Amino acid sequence: MPLAKDLLHPSLEDEKRTHKKKRLVQSPNSYFMDVKCPGCYKITTVFSHAQTVVLCVGCSTVLCQPTGGKARLTEGNLRAQRRTCPPVCATLHVDLYIHVKAFRNAQIHCVDINYFC
């Protein structure tokens, strides 16, 4: 009797819905983003779940406000880049986890992206 859903190859929607520790490969929900100030156009790195008010270094304007979960960007700010591993890297981790199963404490480095996942 076949299973109703494939446990080895879950869809991206299923992986997003599951808890961060109950995924096939554990990955955080948080990320760092580069936010461009609308006044002085300086770029500041902001954590997605920041718990304090983040101010611009150049002109001291408020870049984001904390909420219960993710920080809310103020209007007019531009998010330049979201700095996490792309889905290609995540599928690479899944394949390595299934086939190798021995990288528990090792950090895997994405060579072409220059981020530790």
- Tens of pLDDT, residues 35-62: 888 888 888 999 999 999 999 988 989 9
- Radius of gyration of the chain measured on its C-alpha atoms: 18
- Cα(48)–Cα(46) distance, rounded to whole angstroms? 6
End-to-end Cα distance, the chain: 37
Residues 29-39 pLDDT 10s: 889 998 888 88
pTM summary value: 0.58
Query: pLDDT confidence of 80, banded at 50, 70, 90?
Result: low
The predicted pLDDT at position 76 comes to 77
